[in-house]
Amino acid sequence: MTIVLDRGYLKLVEYWGDDSTIIESARMSTNKGFQGWDKDEKLLRYLYTNKHMTPFEMCGATFEIKAPIFVFREWHRHRTQSYNEMSARYTPLPEENYIPTVERLMMNANGTNKQANRIDGAPQMVEGHAVWVREALAEMNHRIHDFYMLLLETGVPKELARLILPINQYSKMRASANLRNWLQFLTLRMDEAAQWEIRQYANVLHDELSIKFPKTLALFDAEANRPSKSKGV
Ligand SMILES: Cc1cc2nc3c(=O)[nH]c(=O)nc-3n(C[C@H](O)[C@H](O)[C@H](O)COP(=O)(O)OP(=O)(O)OC[C@H]3O[C@@H](n4cnc5c(N)ncnc54)[C@H](O)[C@@H]3O)c2cc1C
């Protein structure tokens, strides 16, 4: 399990197949199977660079993720993954909210940086303000959670009491997908254009996949011109 943001995590639940499964699937027609990496590195590279991607769908992985609801809102746009999320209809949610760090709040403009998208006329965040924002957010979250508990204790059903919870509330889910699909997710969510928070999860997910599918992830990294932690092909 790897900690992500202040209270979140990402952990691999299970995976199926490995780099050689991709070769075996691609060799369906000739029935030659996997012949060892001396011969088959070239074939894997050929499949990847020529976007013959269906063999990459023969592997996959399931992850458990704890993240703020606003991260899940972005994540769930990836419609071709399978999800199961804990339900606040059945369990009251604990007081766990994402509070951005001072550094995140101050993440600098540099002209085009989307992570510093302020409304027109708003000043660049300075450290003193960032510290205040963190305290104010924590205080606001605490008051909302107290009110949530009060609603529950007053007899409001769990499915209605949750209406006041903010989107920095942490939730948990499992997400499952084949390897091709995860690569597409990483392409979109490791990119600098993606919101910084979901990018932190994508980076950890990338590293987990690099352990299980090192040769495929090395090809993925090479395509993105990224220094790879995986053993290259
Ligand atoms: C930086 C960034 C900014 C974004 N900004 C916005 C935004 O402002 N507003 C917003 O609403 N969303 C936004 N999104 C979400 C984005 O539009 C996609 O919904 C999200 O990235 C999921 O991608 P996807 O559709 O490829 O994934 P999936 O839903 O997993 O689909 C995978 C692939 O399956 C195919 N597919 C799936 N469903 C269909 C379909 N119905 N018809 C045809 N082909 C289909 C497509 O080839 C698709 O690429 C943003 C995403 C990123 C990364």
Q: What is the pLDDT of residues 19-62, one digit of tens each?
A: 999 999 999 888 888 989 998 999 999 999 999 999 999 999 99
- Strand intervals (E) in 76-146: 82-85
In this structure, the residue with its CA closest to atom 24 of ligand 1 is 78
CA atoms within 13 A on the CB side of 77: 12
Pocket of ligand 1 (CB under 6 A): 77-80, 188, 193-194
Task: List phi, psi (to 5°) of 171.
Answer: -135, 175
CA of 78 to the centre of ligand 1 (A): 6
Q: Give me the phi and psi of 185, to 5 degrees please.
A: -60, -45
What digits encode the pLDDT tens for the residues 126-148? 999 999 999 999 999 999 999 99
Query: Rounded to an integer, what distance in angstroms lies between the CA atom of residue 21 and that of residue 214?
Result: 13
Residue nearest to ligand 1 atom 19, measured at CA: 77
Q: Rounded to whole angstroms, how far apart are CA atoms 141 and 132?
A: 14
CA of 198 to the centre of ligand 1 (A): 15
pTM: 0.94
Q: Calculate how far, in angstroms, residue 82's C-alpha sits from the geometric centre of ligand 1.
A: 15
Q: Is the pLDDT of residue 228 over 90?
A: no
